[in-house]
Structure 1
Amino acid sequence: MVSVGSVARVLVAATARALRGADCADLSHPSTAGRFPGAPEPVRRAAVVRAAGRVALSVDQAAAVDAERVAGWLVDQYPAAGRFPGAVLGSAHGSAAHLAVALGVPWLPAGFEVTAHWNDGAVDRPDRARDHGAALAGRLLRGNDDVHVRQVHCPATRGALAGATVSLAVRWRRVPAAYARFLADRLDPGAPVLLLRDARTWPVGDAGGGHSFQVGCPASGLDPVDFHPDAPALRQVLRCAGGDSGRWDPPQVSVPRAPAENGVESGFEVSLRDWAVRRGHPVRRVLVPRPEVLSAATADLYRGWLRAAGKTGDRLVVECGRLLDPWQVVRAGLVPYWCENATRRSVSAAEWWLAGSEPFSSVDVLPEPPGVPSPAWAGLPQWLAVAAFGRRRRALDRVAARGYPVTSVPTRRATEVLRGQAYDLPAPPPLPVDVALAALRASGTGQGLLVT
C-alpha cells in the first residue's frame, strides 16, 4: 500500500537497519521514472508509464488501504526486543533518520504516500486529476476516519507519471494505535519524544471532507507562480512530460498558505502530547523552516559528536534523496549532509553551508538523479563544485552521474560507495536527547530552526 519509492518508506527501512547494525545493501527499489534513459523521449515516457502501472494501486486497492495496518507495518520494521531512550516522529527528512541513529532511537513518519492508477489521465489536466483523486480519497476515507489525504499533482517532480497515476499523501490526524502501543512498550520510563515538523507552505484547494489538492510542491525547486499557465518553467516541464500548457487549468486555491504535503497534521501533534502527558514522556518539537536548515544543523551535530568521541569529524558525505545509509555513515565516522533532492536550491544550500564551515579533508557526493527533466535541477558542474570543497579527497559518484538527470539509482548504491570508506570504529556512544537538542538549537536558530 505504501509507495515503493517514497522517501518515508526508505527512511524507516534505513533507520531500522542502522539500529540493528546493518546497512542498506538490500534496498534496491529505484523509482520507475528513469529506468529507460537510452530510449527516445516519447518511447521512454510510455515505458515509464507502463512500469508505474505495475506498482500503482488499482481503484479497489486504494479503497482497501488500512492506515492502522500501515502504522503497524512501519513499527514492525524495528528490532522486536529492547527499549529505546526516546523516539523521533514527524516529517520525512533524511537528517531526521541520521539524528535518530545518533540518539539510538527509532524514526516514524506522520504519514505515508499512496500512488494509484489514473487510467484516462493527462499530465496537463490538474482539474481532472483533482476530480479523480477526490473520488479515490473518498473511498479511502470511508475506511480511515483518522487521516487527511493531500493530493499532489506535480509534473515537475513526477514527469509523465503525473498523467498516469495520482499521488496521495495520507497524513494521520492523530497518533495511530500501533504507534501508541509501540511507544508505550518500547520507550524507557520518562524518555522524550521528538516531533519534527516541516514548516513549508503551499497554495491548496480544500473543500473539506478530508481531501485537499495542491498543484506543484516545494520539492520541485519551483515557486507556486511557476505553475501558472503562462509561466515559462511550466511550459518547459509540460513539454518534457508530453503535455500542453494550453490545456493547463488548475483548480481554484482556497488556502493560500497551507502546510505542504510533507507537513504534520495539527491533530497528530495534539494527540501525541495528550498521550505523552498521560505516560510521563516529555515532547520536544523541532520546527524546520527549510530542509537544508535541519541538514546543516544535523551535520554540525555529527561533527561535534564525532570529535567528542576522539574522532576527526573531518570527512563529509553529501547525500541526496534516497541515496543514504545511516549505518555506513556511523561505521566510517562520517559527517552526513542530506539534500532533499537535486534541485539547484538544495545544492546551493549545501555549497553555502560548506563555504561557512570549517573545511573537510574529504567530500563524497551522492547526487540522486531525479529521473525526469526539469529547469529546476542542478547540473553536474554544480554537484562537482560541492565535491571541490574537499581539501584532499573530492569524489562525485560516477554511477549516479552517468545519465544524470534522467536515470535512476537505487538506495543500495549509497551503501556500495560508503563501504569503500575506511573503518572508524567503535561508534561513539548514543547522544543524550538534551545534548542533541542543544546542538540543534546552537547551530540552527540563526537560520530559523525552532526547538521548543
Structure 2
Amino acid sequence: MRTDPGGKLQRGAKHGKSLVADMESSVTAVRMISGFLSGSTAPVLSGVPSSSAAADAVSALPQRMQNKAFELAGRSEALRQKKISDIDVDAIDQWVVEQYSARRTGRTSYPAVVMGSVSGAAFFLAAALGVPFLPQTTLVAVNDGDTDPDDPHQAMRRWAPAAQQIAANNPRVSVYHMHDPAQDRPMMKQTAFFRLKRAGLGPVYREFLRNSLAPEGHVITLENTRTWRVTQTGERSFFQFGCLGGMPEEEYVSGSQRLHDFLEAEGSAQRHWEAPAPTGRRPDGEWGFDPAFGTDLDELASGAGWRRRRLYQNEPQDASAFLAELYRDWYRRLGWEDNRLLAQTYTLLDPRATMATGSVPFWNRFHMQPSFDVLSEYLHTAQPYEEILISLFSNGVRSPGLVDLSQWEALAATHASTRGEVIGVNPETFPFDAGHPLRFQQALEAAGPHRDLPEPLTVAEVDAFARAYGIAVSAGSLPEHHDDVAGEGFRNPVSWVGD
C-alpha cells in the first residue's frame, strides 16, 4: 500500500489525465464546466472539434465499421493491464482541480463549489452559479478482450484481483467493477470498467477548497441516494451487475421475454443472465453518493466557516424539472424569453450553448424509457414551450428499453407550439450513430440566436427559488427515498437542503 501522499501529489495532473476516460459522465462534466468558466466550448471528445461533415462521414460508414467504432471507443481510452498498479485517485483529483486553475479560467477564487454525484446538476447548476464541479466518482477503463459480456460470474472472477489491487492502493475509495451487457455491450468486448468512489475528500480536494473557495463561501453537494445490489469481492471492492438505464434492476436478475429476444438478436448463447449472488446494496457505482464523503466535507466546512447546501435526490434525473424551472425563472427575471427547451442526453450537452441561445436545459440520463417518461411528465405539467429540441445519445446497441427516434420526435412535436424535433442525430443510423459526438454541439449552437451570457446566479437566488418551488427543507426533515428496483415508475421527492 502506498503511504506517501506527497509523492502522489507530485505525480500531478499529467498522470491523472492519462487515467481518466473522455467518454465518462463525471469527466465530461469537469471538462464542460472548465470550458464554460474559461469562456470556451469544450468538445465532448477532448482534442476532437465538433464537425457535422466529419460526423456525416463517420455515419456513412458501413454498419459493421460503425459497430467496430463503438467497440474501439472504449479500448482507445483504456489502460493496459500492466498499468493497473499506476491507478492513483490523488493524481486524478490533481487533473480535476487543474481544470479550474487560474491558468485556465483566469480566476483564483469562487463563491461556491459543487461536489458529489454526477447528474444534470453537475453541468447546469454549476454553470448557472459560475463555479467548479468536483466529482466524487470517476471511471478508469482497462483493456479486456477475454471476457464474455453474458457471463457475469466469469467477469467478476476475472477482474476481482484488479479491483482489490486498485482499492488497496487507494485507501479512501471504494472500487466498483461495473458490468452492464445491456447498455455497455459494444465497448465491453474490449474494455473493463472500474469506478472509483471517494469516501473522503483527500489532500487535493482539501487544498483546492482552502485555496479557492471564498470566505463564507458555499459548498454544494449533489447527493443521489440510488443504490444497487452488489457482490463484495474484497475490502472496498465490489462487482455491480447492471446499471440505471432501460431495464429495471430486477430484470437483470429475473430475466424477461424482451431480454430473451435481445440476447438472441445479439447472437448470444444465453437467453438470460446468471448474476452472482449479491452480498448487499451500495450507492450505485456511477450515479450514487457515498454519505461518508459528505461527512468528511461537513467537518472541513464547519472548521473553515463555509456554508453548506445539498441537492438531495434519488435518481440522477429527478432534479431535471427543478433545474429547468430554475432557468426559466432566471430568464424571466432577466427579461429574456423562456420558450425554448433543450433536452440534452447523458454527456451530449453544452451549458455554454444552452445559455448563449437562451434555451432552458432539461437533462435526460439516457435515451431509454425511464428518461422518456420523466421528460414526458415534465412537459405535461410545465407551462408550454414554443420550441422543444432533443439531442439523443447513441451507444451502439438496441438495448431493452430503447425508445425509438420516432417517439422522441412525436413527444417534441406534440408539446411544442411552433417547433419540436430531435437534433444532432442521424435518423438512419440511431442508436448506432458513431458520428453523433461530432455533430451534436453544432446542432445546439444553431438552436437560436446568441447573446452575451448573464451574470451568474447566486446561492441566495437558488435558495429563494427552491422555497418558491416547494423543495427547500432543513437537514433534519429529509424525505425517505425508495429505490425503484422493479421499474414501477414511482418518483422520489427532490430536496434543496440548507444549513
Contact 2:218 2:306 in 1 (8 A): yes
Alignment equivalent of 1:22, drawn from 40, 48, 54: 40
State the Cα distance separating 1:432 from its structure 2 match. Answer: 1.3
2:301 matched to 1:279? no
Contact 1:340 1:346 in 2 (8 A): yes
Contact 2:344 2:391 in 1 (8 A): yes
Report SS of the residue matched to 1:188. Answer: strand
State the Cα distance separating 1:381 from its structure 2 match. Answer: 1.7
State the Cα distance separating 1:408 from its structure 2 match. Answer: 2.8
Alignment equivalent of 1:258, drawn from 266, 273, 282: 282
Q: Structure 1 CA distance, aligned partners of 2:337 and 2:94?
A: 40
Structure 1 residues 306 and 136: CA distance shift in structure 2, 3 A: same
State the Cα distance separating 1:206 from its structure 2 match. Answer: 1.9
Q: Structure 2 CA distance, aligned partners of 1:412 and 1:198?
A: 30
Q: Structure 2 CA distance, aligned partners of 1:50 and 1:329?
A: 30
**2:217 is matched with which residue?**
191
Structure 1 residues 254 and 36: CA distance shift in structure 2, 3 A: farther
2:322 matched to 1:297? yes
**1:175 is matched with which residue?**
201
Higher mean alpha-carbon deviation, 152-161 vs 84-93, is at 152-161
TM-score in terms of structure 2 length: 0.83
Q: Structure 2 CA distance, aligned partners of 1:441 and 1:366?
A: 31
For 1:387, the aligned partner's letter is: A
Alignment equivalent of 2:89, drawn from 62, 67, 71: 67
For 2:86, the aligned partner's letter is: A
Report SS of the residue matched to 2:382. Answer: coil
Report SS of the residue matched to 1:376. Answer: coil
Any idea what the Cα deviations from partners look like across 1:106-125, whole Å, max 9, x if unmatched?
11110101111223211111
Report SS of the residue matched to 1:371. Answer: coil
Alignment equivalent of 2:366, drawn from 318, 341, 344: 341
Q: Structure 2 CA distance, aligned partners of 1:133 and 1:441?
A: 47
State the Cα distance separating 1:439 from its structure 2 match. Answer: 2.4
For 2:495, the aligned partner's letter is: L
**2:295 is matched with which residue?**
270
State the Cα distance separating 1:247 from its structure 2 match. Answer: 7.8
State the Cα distance separating 1:207 from its structure 2 match. Answer: 4.6
Any idea what the Cα deviations from partners look like across 1:360-415, whole Å, max 9, x if unmatched?
12111111223211121111122112321221122321534341012234545332
For 1:342, the aligned partner's letter is: H
Q: Structure 2 CA distance, aligned partners of 1:441 and 1:156?
A: 40
Contact 2:37 2:131 in 1 (8 A): yes
1:434-449 matches, within 5 Å, as 434-440=460-466, 442-443=468-469, 445=471, 448-449=493-494
State the Cα distance separating 1:37 from its structure 2 match. Answer: 8.2
Alignment equivalent of 1:433, drawn from 459, 463, 466: 459
Q: Structure 2 CA distance, aligned partners of 1:450 and 1:132?
A: 41
Report SS of the residue matched to 1:361. Answer: strand
Structure 1 residues 355 and 246: CA distance shift in structure 2, 3 A: closer
2:268 matched to 1:223? no
State the Cα distance separating 1:25 from its structure 2 match. Answer: 4.3
**2:495 is matched with which residue?**
450
**2:479 is matched with which residue?**
none
Contact 1:147 1:172 in 2 (8 A): yes
Q: Structure 2 CA distance, aligned partners of 1:270 and 1:240?
A: 47
2:420 matched to 1:394? yes
Alignment equivalent of 2:334, drawn from 309, 316, 320: 309
Report the RMSD for the aligned CA atoms in angstroms.
Answer: 2.4
For 2:190, the aligned partner's letter is: A
State the Cα distance separating 1:429 from its structure 2 match. Answer: 2.2
Structure 1 residues 390 and 281: CA distance shift in structure 2, 3 A: same
Alignment equivalent of 1:420, drawn from 442, 446, 456: 446
Q: Structure 2 CA distance, aligned partners of 1:402 and 1:46?
A: 18
Contact 1:150 1:211 in 2 (8 A): yes
**2:397 is matched with which residue?**
372
2:120 matched to 1:120? no
For 1:122, the aligned partner's letter is: D
Q: Structure 1 CA distance, aligned partners of 2:45 and 2:75?
A: 21
Q: Structure 2 CA distance, aligned partners of 1:24 and 1:198?
A: 26
Structure 1 residues 442 and 155: CA distance shift in structure 2, 3 A: farther
Q: Structure 1 CA distance, aligned partners of 2:108 and 2:389?
A: 34
Higher mean alpha-carbon deviation, 380-389 vs 101-110, is at 380-389
State the Cα distance separating 1:240 from its structure 2 match. Answer: 4.4
For 2:96, the aligned partner's letter is: L
**2:10 is matched with which residue?**
none
Q: Structure 2 CA distance, aligned partners of 1:2 and 1:237?
A: 31
Q: Structure 1 CA distance, aligned partners of 2:397 and 2:282?
A: 27
- Report % sequence identity: 27
Q: Structure 2 CA distance, aligned partners of 1:188 and 1:398?
A: 39
State the Cα distance separating 1:4 from its structure 2 match. Answer: 2.3
**1:407 is matched with which residue?**
433
Report SS of the residue matched to 2:310. Answer: strand
Any idea what the Cα deviations from partners look like across 1:88-133, whole Å, max 9, x if unmatched?
1111112321111111111111010111122321111101111222
Contact 1:113 1:168 in 2 (8 A): yes
**1:318 is matched with which residue?**
343
For 1:100, the aligned partner's letter is: A
Contact 1:24 1:412 in 2 (8 A): no
Contact 1:229 1:245 in 2 (8 A): no
Structure 1 residues 55 and 241: CA distance shift in structure 2, 3 A: farther
2:14 matched to 1:8? no
Structure 1 residues 437 and 408: CA distance shift in structure 2, 3 A: farther
2:133 matched to 1:92? no
Report SS of the residue matched to 2:217. Answer: coil
Contact 1:313 1:333 in 2 (8 A): yes
Structure 1 residues 54 and 423: CA distance shift in structure 2, 3 A: closer
Any idea what the Cα deviations from partners look like across 1:149-203, whole Å, max 9, x if unmatched?
0111101111143343221111111002111111111111110111001111221
State the Cα distance separating 1:208 from its structure 2 match. Answer: 4.3
